[in-house]
Structure 1
Amino acid sequence: MDTNPSELVDVDVVALEMDSDTQQPAKRRKKKRSEVWNHFTTETVSSDTKKARCMHCNKSFAYMTANKCSGTSHLKRHIDFGICAKNGEINKLSQIKEETTSSPPKKSQISSPETKDVKPTSCRPKKRHIPSPDLPLDQDRCNLEMAKMIIMHDYPLHMVEHPGFVGFLQALSPQFTVASFDTIHDDCVAMFLSQKQKVLDFIGDIPGGVNLTVDLWSSKQSVGYAFVTGHFVDKDWNLIHRLLNVAVVASPDSDFALNQPVTACLSDWHLEGKISSIAVSQSLVNKTSIDNLRGFLSFRNQHVLNGQLLMGKCYARLLSSMAQDALTAEQLQEPIKKVRDSIKYVQTSEACGDRFDELKRLFPTPSPYKDLLIDNQTRWDTSYNMLLAACEHRQVFSCLETCHPEYKISISPEEWTKIESLCSCLKVLFEAGNALTGPNQLTTNDLYHEMTKLQLELSPTAMGEDPDVRNLAKSLREKFDQYWRGCFLVLAVAVVMDPRFKMHLIKFTFNKSYGADAEKWTKSVDDAVHDLYLNYSEQNLLDAYVDHGFSEIEVAQESHFHQDMAEDANTGNGQSGDETSPQVEETTESHQHERQLKAEKQNVVGLWEGLSEESQLTEEDQQHGDDSQADAMAEEDYPSFPVDVLLEEGSTLITIGESLSDFEMYMSDMKTELDQYLEENLIPRSEDFNVLSWWRVNSTNYPTLSKMAADLLSVPFSTVSPDSVFDTEVKQMDNYRTSLPGETLEALLCTKDWFKNGTL
């Protein structure tokens, strides 16, 4: 009977283990579980010595001496790292066999005698999966993925023509044909149009209006670029913002610089009559160009809230302007320069840096991990962090003057005091700006809390007794108060839409801020809430009459009837049919757009008037029987309650009021809706409260008020992106982007924003 040598070794091992078990019955030998024993055997050299022998190269290794085990790490290295030459050859042959069997064999492939009986080892290093060359290549999908990559990472379109990139792709897949510039351009535009339709459908389903922000970028070619962003509440009551348009502005300093971008936005996204507010960054444009935008606001919002729904300043730009005023104050220039030069010297001199680190261990700081960094003067938050870190290392810098002779920058105690005073003011601005950089956009009521907090912290009493701090804070407070007067009403009305506070917080904060004048300011907010609500109620009434069931022909007939009536009214007032008011004779783009919006509303108003007339005739017939329609429409029968709607360019104001019982009933119900909300108890305050979620749940109880809340709570006050809040300069378009056609640039930038914020 033949005997396998390996079996003899196993018998010896078993015999040895049995002997050891007999001598030490209390101990039980552990079963060998390591994978190395698939490649090694053990052999006994002496009574207390064992060695491990490689089954492939027959090399022996220490394993056990005097009952002390050497472990298996050195055995694993022998196998895994290719030290065993024989095992390496076996691994290569096994890999070839595995790759051959992973795909259908070809007729030309013949198995090698050397690899026929070779079994793969289980302790090989892990290899990356190699795709089969027989898998088909999806050229179109590769092109679309490349277009998406270019859009998302701002790569130039011409990269498909770069030899290095082409060579890289050919190395990855020789079958892949690199797209041309025209092909990749068309793919990017097609992707833009596809995503745009999704955003367009999404905006069409929102419950309220859209708030716009317009941010203007500069360029080296003296051409501006307007970024128009829409902010709104979606049908699920989430606060959404999307970049809608990027338009080239040939003359940024023109009085009508912003009209064309806003006009394009209204047309592209069907937003005529749906704009609730517009916020503009007054960095490159003049005040006249901002005033000319008023014609693009819907009629119900042009003059409501004292016109504050058109904001000419960006809150983030205001904070940057205030910070720059503080950093460029004349009395602070020398101390700031010394701090900047000191940090620069510590960072660039190795000997000084080592000495500084030694001294820093002797003087622990409040923030031991705050590093000294030279500021980037295009971002004021870096300047604040630089000065703050320097103040915390004030003692270290003072000792450095005596311990390091080469350091000759002397900062006096008075200069350190000025730097600390500056940091006190910048801290307030930094915290206010930091609130705008979060991942989630703040609702308008949250912005009210942030702004009132800033206002109180800039007050003289909050700044302490230091005269330098108080004087600096005073100038900053004056600048903020000027901005506050232009927007506080919108913010305050938005706070009333927060069921945790309503009018109560307004009264509290105004009492602290305005003292004896608080009652006057509080009344202005209360009046604004009711006026704005009345405006929304009238709009709902118009929408209700449009949905009354009239056909398009009947609506057109009503429109013609009221056009004739408007002409008769003009004649009665001493105006001929050909005469127009001075306002009509203006030829500015904003007024032309205003006239267009008026004309679009004539059908709606005509229908409203016709239904009102129908209601009046019913009452007249019951009382007089044979009264005519003309008598019912006589001028003396018009009620005194005005509705702010113009029927025809140059016509008199048509009014409807007290004689309409259905109107009275409707308005009574609507007023009850507002009064009911204000009279109900406040909602308990909690950290996880979401005001938009509350309105989503209660929108059925407050159908009109919820629309008003959706528009107000989504009003934006910052026109810049979160990563630009601390910028001290206007964003500038790079040379590559300025070389692209306007349509291509808009497609790339808008699609990138949509991908970044998630497809709707």
Structure 2
Amino acid sequence: MLARALKFRDAFTSLKECDRSYKSLPSEDEWDRGQKICEFLKPFSTITTFFSGVRYPTANAYFLQVWKIECLLMKYASCDDPVMKEMAKKMRVKFSKYWDEYSLVLAMGAVLDPRLKLQILRTAYDKVDPRNAEKKVEVVKKNLKKLYEEYGAKFQSSSSTSSATPTPYELLTESPLEDDMNYELFELERSIQPGLDNKKTNLEMYLEDPRLDTRSFTDIEVLGYWKDQGQRYGDLASLACDLLSIPITTVASESAFSVGGRVISPYRNRLLPKNVQALLCTRNWLRGFAEFEGDVEDYFDEDNLDKDPTTTASSSAI
């Protein structure tokens, strides 16, 4: 509403000259402050819409967006305008309250984005809190490693039944010299303590691999990437798919602020029972399309919904 009113700034001035009873014309300072407030709130509106859409983005996209909000609040909290400064300070108090709860989950999701990893995470933390940046990165890395170890234990337990360790007698060949070498190798491997094995985990290999270029992979599907990398990273790919698919918001903004009722899809909730049943049965198929336009909703108006589908089908066939 404020953005629309600013477009008619000159019109309100003309209205004051034409209508003497118009007494609520904003002053120039109020217009300028409204412009600043609009510029200040516009990124919040964009990011909130991005977060709370019906089609949720994967969890890796949340961290940088929340980081942008914190940088914006820090910027306005130190500006020269006392009104904007006070507003930003109050917003930052509430923001910090919820950010502390979700920062760890959001950060781990960002690390599992092959374009970000720990390098971007460290840079982002350094911008907002340089004193504790390295400490926060270590906390994220520690918790991600702990979560990965839990997944690794489940992964090994599920695959242990299918792959058993061979015994020395199963390594016998027709060459006595080769048999002796195989037996010695088996004994050496068995004598190695787990802590002395220098084999890197999938998580360590992933973190050491170079990042993907952000400019070359702007539209990458992160879940599709981990699906393709399942053979290479194994249990880490399973962890990434589970973690990245966690929705941070549980209610879509279209549903929370809908005037006509809860919007669960492009169809309204005024449907006949037989049509609701038909839509639920074909829900997965319908959602296979990229986008739904308003034409689909217009088709399911009251006139069409009151008609018998069998009658409609027969008439269209004729």
TM-score (norm 2): 0.68
User: Which residue of 1 is the match for residue 170 of structure 2?
Assistant: none
Helix, strand or coil at the partner of 2:132: helix
* Aligned residue identity for 1:469: M
After TM superposition, give the deviation of residue 676 of structure 1 in Å: 1.5
**In 1: Cα distance, 2:138 partner to 2:161 partner:** 35
After TM superposition, give the deviation of residue 404 of structure 1 in Å: 2.8
User: Which residue of 1 is the match for residue 284 of structure 2?
Assistant: 754
Helix, strand or coil at the partner of 2:213: coil
1:87-109 per-position Cα deviation (integer Å, ceiling 9, x unaligned): xxxxxxxxxxxxxxxxxxxxxxx
1:140-159 per-position Cα deviation (integer Å, ceiling 9, x unaligned): xxxxxxxxxxxxxxxxxxxx
User: Which residue of 1 is the match for residue 311 of structure 2?
Assistant: none
What is the root-mean-square deviation of aligned Cα atoms in Å?
Answer: 3.8
After TM superposition, give the deviation of residue 749 of structure 1 in Å: 6.9
> Which blocks of at least 5 consecutive residues in structure 2 are unaligned?
168-189, 290-318
* Aligned residue identity for 1:674: L
User: Which residue of 2 is the match for residue 535 of structure 1?
Assistant: 150
* Aligned residue identity for 1:705: L
- Asked if the contact 2:3/2:38 (under 8 Å) is kept, the reply is yes
1:24-423 residue pairs with structure 2 within 5 A? 386-423=1-38
- Which one of 70, 75, 78 corresponds to residue 455 of structure 1? 70
After TM superposition, give the deviation of residue 720 of structure 1 in Å: 2.5
User: Which residue of 1 is the match for residue 124 of structure 2?
Assistant: 509
After TM superposition, give the deviation of residue 482 of structure 1 in Å: 1.3
Matched, 1:480 2:10: no
- Asked if the contact 1:447/1:491 (under 8 Å) is kept, the reply is yes
Matched, 1:696 2:227: yes
The 1:463–1:748 alpha-carbon spacing in structure 2 relative to 1, beyond 3 Å, is farther
After TM superposition, give the deviation of residue 542 of structure 1 in Å: 1.8
User: Which residue of 2 is the match for residue 723 of structure 1?
Assistant: 254
**In 2: Cα distance, 1:419 partner to 1:473 partner:** 15
**In 2: Cα distance, 1:506 partner to 1:745 partner:** 48
1:356-396 per-position Cα deviation (integer Å, ceiling 9, x unaligned): xxxxxxxxxxxxxxxxxxxxxxxxxxxxxx21121232232
The 1:705–1:663 alpha-carbon spacing in structure 2 relative to 1, beyond 3 Å, is farther
* Aligned residue identity for 1:518: A
- Asked if the contact 2:255/2:263 (under 8 Å) is kept, the reply is no
1:416-455 residue pairs with structure 2 within 5 A? 416-436=31-51, 441-455=56-70
- Asked if the contact 2:262/2:269 (under 8 Å) is kept, the reply is no
**In 2: Cα distance, 1:721 partner to 1:411 partner:** 35
Helix, strand or coil at the partner of 1:459: helix
**In 1: Cα distance, 2:156 partner to 2:193 partner:** 8
User: Which residue of 1 is the match for residue 297 of structure 2?
Assistant: none
- Asked if the contact 1:421/1:468 (under 8 Å) is kept, the reply is no
Matched, 1:709 2:229: no
**In 1: Cα distance, 2:287 partner to 2:45 partner:** 26
* Aligned residue identity for 2:148: Y
- Asked if the contact 2:77/2:84 (under 8 Å) is kept, the reply is no
User: Which residue of 2 is the match for residue 203 of structure 1?
Assistant: none
Helix, strand or coil at the partner of 1:701: helix
**In 2: Cα distance, 1:716 partner to 1:501 partner:** 19
**In 2: Cα distance, 1:753 partner to 1:455 partner:** 38
- Which one of 675, 679, 689 corresponds to residue 208 of structure 2? 679
- Asked if the contact 2:126/2:133 (under 8 Å) is kept, the reply is yes
TM-score (norm 1): 0.31
**In 1: Cα distance, 2:258 partner to 2:103 partner:** 24
- Asked if the contact 1:500/1:682 (under 8 Å) is kept, the reply is yes
User: Which residue of 2 is the match for residue 489 of structure 1?
Assistant: 104
- Give the number of the structure whose residues are more often helix, by fraction: 2
**In 1: Cα distance, 2:4 partner to 2:131 partner:** 42
The 1:661–1:492 alpha-carbon spacing in structure 2 relative to 1, beyond 3 Å, is farther
**In 2: Cα distance, 1:694 partner to 1:706 partner:** 9
After TM superposition, give the deviation of residue 710 of structure 1 in Å: 0.9
Q: Which has the higher contact order (CA 8 A, sep 6+)?
A: 2
Helix, strand or coil at the partner of 2:203: helix
1:490-542 per-position Cα deviation (integer Å, ceiling 9, x unaligned): 11111111222211011101111112122221111110111111111111122
The 1:725–1:411 alpha-carbon spacing in structure 2 relative to 1, beyond 3 Å, is same
* Aligned residue identity for 2:116: F
- Asked if the contact 1:424/1:469 (under 8 Å) is kept, the reply is no
Helix, strand or coil at the partner of 1:486: helix
> Which blocks of at least 5 consecutive residues in structure 1 are unaligned?
1-385, 550-610, 616-659
How many residue pairs were aligned? 260
Identity of counterpart residues, as a percentage? 28
**In 2: Cα distance, 1:473 partner to 1:509 partner:** 20
Helix, strand or coil at the partner of 2:136: helix
After TM superposition, give the deviation of residue 750 of structure 1 in Å: 4.1
- Asked if the contact 1:437/1:725 (under 8 Å) is kept, the reply is no
Matched, 1:500 2:115: yes
After TM superposition, give the deviation of residue 486 of structure 1 in Å: 0.8
The 1:543–1:420 alpha-carbon spacing in structure 2 relative to 1, beyond 3 Å, is same
**In 1: Cα distance, 2:100 partner to 2:261 partner:** 25
**In 1: Cα distance, 2:243 partner to 2:35 partner:** 39
* Aligned residue identity for 1:712: L
- Asked if the contact 1:433/1:725 (under 8 Å) is kept, the reply is no
- Give the number of the structure whose residues are more often strand, by fraction: 1
**In 2: Cα distance, 1:422 partner to 1:702 partner:** 47
The 1:724–1:429 alpha-carbon spacing in structure 2 relative to 1, beyond 3 Å, is farther
**In 2: Cα distance, 1:729 partner to 1:475 partner:** 33
- Asked if the contact 1:673/1:702 (under 8 Å) is kept, the reply is yes
- Asked if the contact 1:445/1:491 (under 8 Å) is kept, the reply is yes
After TM superposition, give the deviation of residue 730 of structure 1 in Å: 8.8
The 1:401–1:682 alpha-carbon spacing in structure 2 relative to 1, beyond 3 Å, is same
The range that moved more, 442-451 or 714-723, is: 714-723
Helix, strand or coil at the partner of 2:248: coil
* Aligned residue identity for 2:287: N
**In 2: Cα distance, 1:548 partner to 1:430 partner:** 53
- Asked if the contact 1:433/1:726 (under 8 Å) is kept, the reply is no
The 1:483–1:437 alpha-carbon spacing in structure 2 relative to 1, beyond 3 Å, is closer
After TM superposition, give the deviation of residue 696 of structure 1 in Å: 3.0
The 1:451–1:730 alpha-carbon spacing in structure 2 relative to 1, beyond 3 Å, is farther
